[in-house]
Structure 1
Amino acid sequence: MTEPIIRVEDLQVSFFGQGAWQTVVSGVSFDIAPRETLALVGESGSGKSVTALAMMRLLPENKARVAGRVVLGGRDLLAMPEPAMRDVRGNEIAMIFQEPMSSLNPALTIGDQISEVLVQHQRMSFHEARVETLRMLDRVRISAAARRFGEYPHQLSGGMRQRVMIAIALACRPKLLIADEPTTALDVTIQAQILALIEILRAEEDLAVLFITHDMGVVAEIADRTAVMTNGRVVEAGETAAVFRTPREAYTRALLSAVPELGSMHGRVLPARFALVDPETGKKDGVGETVAAPPAAETPLLRVRGLSARFDMSSGLFGRVTGRIHAAENVSFDLFAGETLALVGESGCGKSTSGRAIMRLTGAVSGRVELEGRDVLALKRAHLGFLRRRVQMIFQDPFSSLDPRMQVGAAIAEPMLVHGIASRKHAREKVAELLPRVGLDPAMAGRFPHEFSGGQRQRICIARALSLAPKLIIADEAVSALDMSIKAQVINLMLDLQRDLGLGYLFISHDMAVVERIAHRVAVMYLGEIVEIGPRAAIFENPQHPYTRRLLAAVPIPDPARKGMRQVIDETEVKNPVRPVDYVPPLREWRTVSPGHEVQVFGEECDEEHHP
């Protein structure tokens, strides 16, 4: 039997707070062999990241107590003096974190940051470090390595920054790579590239990998074994295929029931709720019933025609405009009452800009936006109350959307008071009605945002949006930052509210598996333009545009039996949307594939810079 690279035995971690020591990790044990990936999976607060930080001895000694054993090469890391441990970090164990921009020094070039590791740990000269850095940039598939060496982190895309973090981690050829949510902040296509890269490097470098995540789809794709954590304990562990096929614990079954699986909606016309498993009892909550069809209507609730939004790029001493970001270009669609239209694409494609332009939060340079037949782009500022009462927006981060000094009841009541549609007494009564509707106790109205979990805060934001009885809700990545089970609960809530209140949703997202479950129709955006639009089933079962197919091919499938069967990953980066000042967008041609399903014509007759 292969000797494990690392063995963790009965790891215990406690933090000091409120005058006492609080145990946050208890009795965690596992080992990882060479070329093996162990996934440590669980929701936020389960203790996954604390376990990794404790292994690396990165927790503050005056605030944390760590007990147990972490054995690497016959040495207990927890018993080593700090100077010896500094040699282990980077040399024998390396770590990559969730957000590369906050992990990289913005004042240093990426070449200097990789070279610094080699000079510090390998005692290389600066020339030797430069040569090795260029080799590492090639190893992590960063093209034009010599040019990239002198670039700064802000000049790279999110995916490229994460590749730089991997290059730094692997520069000294460590035995163990700890990857702490390395793909959570990335688009699905970039995530697929990073996962494929880690798999290749694991085989080529004989790496052991501890992969920390809350995404069961990623677990199925990359992990040989899986350990499921909750409340600081490992509640289930084993071969990944066995954990997925026959989970023993109710908590594991609950996690798996909340995973949106691409293709699970095949043959269904309408959206469907998640059939969630209760993590305590193991019983199913609902049966995943189909949501009612939207009422037939001849006139759309929202009609968008030719919407364009651009941002000037200035440079030089006098701030001369040298280019423009064509964030949204000639965006057109209809949205009916009781319907969900999903606007999908990668970061920078223009989907959020389109939503903000509809809300008049971002200026539009041209186009027409009709809400109930009224052009909202032509409204004077004094008349924007019409738009604000009928259209509400839910943002990605619920914590930054709420005033931390305001009780949540007051935050929900505030729109009603500002618009003068309710007295303070009536607003309090309305808050008491809205909180149960979004699954919260009315008694919680007196609490502050920091006293709630992320999922509860998003429910509060939904309640606040509902306070004005809107016709349309624009949900801008409203579930992207949530754990899988919380995400599924919020989606079920949104579907229930749509069924009961006839709400229209413009659902902005990059998560294609979630979109497949919630949307009636889908519009795919690329470089500021809609390139394909149609009924959800048509887009997912018969994608026509190469960019749509690329998005779908990158979605992780939560099925370990398909591990290693992924198609070849497209390494192409999304093109830069900055255009010359005098750039005139070409007229696009469209082809009708089936009723309601249209695709922008692509190929040699289209400009090459626009073709993914």
Structure 2
Amino acid sequence: MASPILSVSNLTTSFRVEGLWRPVVKGISFEIAPKETVAVVGESGSGKSVTALSIMRLTPPGSSKIEGSIKLSGKELLTLPEPEMRHIRGNEVAMIFQEPMTSLNPVLTIGFQIAEALILHRGLSRSEAEAETIRLLEKVRIPAAKSRFHEYPHRFSGGMRQRVMIAMALACKPKLLIADEPTTALDVTIQAQILELIKVLQEEEDMSVLFITHDMGVVAEIADRTVVMYNGQAVETGPTEDIFARPTHPYTRSLLSAVPKLGSMGGHTRPMRFPVVDRATGLSDVPTETSDTVAPASERPVLEVSGLTTRFEIRAGLLGGVKGRVHAVENVSFSLQSGETLALVGESGCGKSTTGRSVMRLIEPLSGSVLLDGEDVLKLDQRTLRDRRKRMQMIFQDPFASLNPRMNVGAAIAEPLIINGLATRSQAREKVAELLRRVGLLPDMASRFPHEFSGGQRQRICIARALAVEPRLIVADESVSALDVSVKAQVINLMLELQERMKLAYLFISHDMAVVERVSHRVAVMYLGEIVEIGPREAVFGNPQHPYTKRLLAAVPVPDPARRLEKRPVSNDEIKSPLRAPDYVPPVRQFREVSPGHAVMIWGQEWETQPAIAKVA
């Protein structure tokens, strides 16, 4: 058997906190063989990323210490002088970080940044480095690589920026690639592209990969072996197939049971709760279907959206004329009954969030109508709109950014009650205690500040604040996408429970197809600002008609290691731009009914080859 590329033995990483050393990684050991992919999986705070930074010796030198042994091809890294370690970083071991925009220098072109590594580590001349950079960009499937060499990071989409990071990591042909949550912030189709790309490049370059993630679907897709981390310790290690088929540790079982599986809703017409798992025992309850809360079709919908259009003008300089328009939302129509969840799905840039914000009038639409209980929100003056917003509330993706860090959570939840004159200060305190209990938190937590809570708890606080004014409609904009898998399950169960109890209507905006299948009654698929398919959840998922819907569903990672070696048809295209010339007139779209309530846009070749895009310098 070949000797391992990386051997980590009894690794302990501690940070100095208030004068004391606090271990964050506690005695973890694992090996990575040549050409092998090992996944380190666990939730936020489990010590995954600190393990990766310890291997690279990138933890802050004054306030951290690393103990144990880290050997790369038999060479001990922890005792190497810093100049030698600097030579190893990027040369023998390369790392891809979670957020490519913060890893790339915004004032340097992407070509210069990749060439810099080649000049520094491989001693190439400027012209040789440029030629090699173009070859690397082509290798990671960036179209028109030569012309994009001199472009800046902001000109690339998230998926293409991550490809640039992979090209930079591969520049010096490393023995080991460390990928720290490289697909977490990406859409499902882009995630599929990046995972497929890493697998192909690993094969071509004979490279070992340490893949860090909290997504068990991604683990099944890419890893030969898996290390499960919990509270800084490796609680289970073994071949990925064995861990999925026969998990022995309760925490591993809880992680696996909380993973939503696409296609698991066969036979269920209503949303399903996630199983609740006890981490200490690994035992889970039996997930149940929610009760039927959807108002009958004869009753007027809570929300009726018709012909909603939102565009953003692009001007040539401060005083220049309009040189193009972003058609963010184009002639979108749908309705939403009391007690119903309509999911808006699609990739970043498709117009989902803009639709939600336009419905709330946080963005002013160009045209259309938004009827809330029969009243057109778009025709209200600001004073009346402020009053009507009691009936419609929004939960945002980032709960920390949604809460005032200087205001305790009790005051944050009480604020809408007091501003709208719904309660006195003493009444508001009682209502806050009741709301905190309703979302599974303790009333005495009201005096704490947002930074004292976990991500999942902060999202519960945002839900409590949204419920304070007893709304009829809640727009949930990617409200669980930033959460760990088990916390995500808890928050979704809470939202389903509140919907049953309060007959809430949810406009659920997400790109996570497996979660959408679990929580929604109906689904609307958006592409370039337009709804291309809409219908009951079981019809859209069970019988997708539009090519884009099929592409979205095919890209979802399947938590089944047996299918890991299957080649999937993955498109390497960039998401097309919704930017149009000023004189562009959108075509009149026609829909056909596939089955009752299931409509799909009639498409030709034009859905793939969109009209000419306005050039913006």
**TM class by shorter-chain length?**
over 0.9
d(CA) in 1 for partners of 2:52, 2:143: 31
Residue pair 1:117, 1:171 contacting (<8 A) in 2 also: yes
Count of residue pairs the alignment pairs up:
610
Percent identity between matched residues is 64
TM-score by length of 1: 0.98
Q: Matched residue of 1:609: which SS?
A: coil
Tell me whether 1:288 sits opposite 2:287 in the alignment: yes
Residue pair 2:407, 2:449 contacting (<8 A) in 1 also: yes
Correspondence for 2:461 = 460
Q: Matched residue of 2:610: which SS?
A: helix
Tell me whether 1:38 sits opposite 2:38 in the alignment: yes
Offset at residue 605 of structure 1 (A): 7.0
Correspondence for 1:239 = 239
Residues 213-250 of structure 1: CA distance to partner in whole angstroms, max 9, x if unpaired?
Answer: 00000000000000000111000010001001111011
Offset at residue 303 of structure 1 (A): 0.2
Q: Matched residue of 2:78: which SS?
A: helix
Offset at residue 316 of structure 1 (A): 3.6
Offset at residue 572 of structure 1 (A): 1.8
Residue pair 2:91, 2:121 contacting (<8 A) in 1 also: yes
d(CA) in 2 for partners of 1:244, 1:610: 46
Correspondence for 1:510 = 511
Aligned counterparts, 1:187-226, within 5 A: 187-226=187-226
TM-score by length of 2: 0.98
Offset at residue 528 of structure 1 (A): 0.3
Pair 82,607 (structure 1): closer, same or farther in 2 beyond 3 Å: closer
Offset at residue 192 of structure 1 (A): 0.2
Q: Matched residue of 1:10: which SS?
A: strand
Write the letter of the residue equivalent to 1:513: A
Pair 604,95 (structure 1): closer, same or farther in 2 beyond 3 Å: closer
Pair 320,252 (structure 1): closer, same or farther in 2 beyond 3 Å: same
Residues 99-135 of structure 1: CA distance to partner in whole angstroms, max 9, x if unpaired?
Answer: 0001001111111011000001111100110111111
d(CA) in 2 for partners of 1:282, 1:38: 24
Structure 1 unaligned residues grouped into runs of 5+: none
d(CA) in 1 for partners of 2:576, 2:606: 18
Residue pair 1:403, 1:411 contacting (<8 A) in 2 also: yes
Residue pair 1:397, 1:478 contacting (<8 A) in 2 also: yes
d(CA) in 2 for partners of 1:282, 1:114: 46
Pair 579,129 (structure 1): closer, same or farther in 2 beyond 3 Å: same
Q: Matched residue of 1:53: which SS?
A: helix
d(CA) in 1 for partners of 2:338, 2:386: 20
Residue pair 1:227, 1:238 contacting (<8 A) in 2 also: yes
Correspondence for 1:524 = 525
Tell me whether 1:74 sits opposite 2:78 in the alignment: no
d(CA) in 1 for partners of 2:231, 2:372: 47
d(CA) in 2 for partners of 1:576, 1:4: 45
Q: Matched residue of 1:25: which SS?
A: strand
Correspondence for 1:580 = 581
Residues 327-368 of structure 1: CA distance to partner in whole angstroms, max 9, x if unpaired?
Answer: 000010000000000000000100100100110100100000
Tell me whether 1:560 sits opposite 2:561 in the alignment: yes
Residue pair 2:387, 2:420 contacting (<8 A) in 1 also: no
Runs (4+) of structure 1 exceeding 6 A deviation are none
Aligned counterparts, 1:48-197, within 5 A: 48-197=48-197
Aligned counterparts, 1:433-452, within 5 A: 433-452=434-453
Structure 2 unaligned residues grouped into runs of 5+: 613-617
Write the letter of the residue equivalent to 2:256: L
Residue pair 1:301, 1:336 contacting (<8 A) in 2 also: yes
Q: Matched residue of 1:587: which SS?
A: coil
Write the letter of the residue equivalent to 2:389: R
Residue pair 2:271, 2:521 contacting (<8 A) in 1 also: yes
Residue pair 2:100, 2:161 contacting (<8 A) in 1 also: yes
Residue pair 1:359, 1:387 contacting (<8 A) in 2 also: no
RMSD between superposed Cα atoms in Å: 1.1
Pair 516,194 (structure 1): closer, same or farther in 2 beyond 3 Å: same
Offset at residue 297 of structure 1 (A): 4.1
d(CA) in 2 for partners of 1:372, 1:430: 26
Correspondence for 1:306 = 307
Aligned counterparts, 1:323-472, within 5 A: 323-472=324-473
Write the letter of the residue equivalent to 1:32: I
Residue pair 1:527, 1:610 contacting (<8 A) in 2 also: no
Write the letter of the residue equivalent to 1:291: T
Write the letter of the residue equivalent to 1:204: E
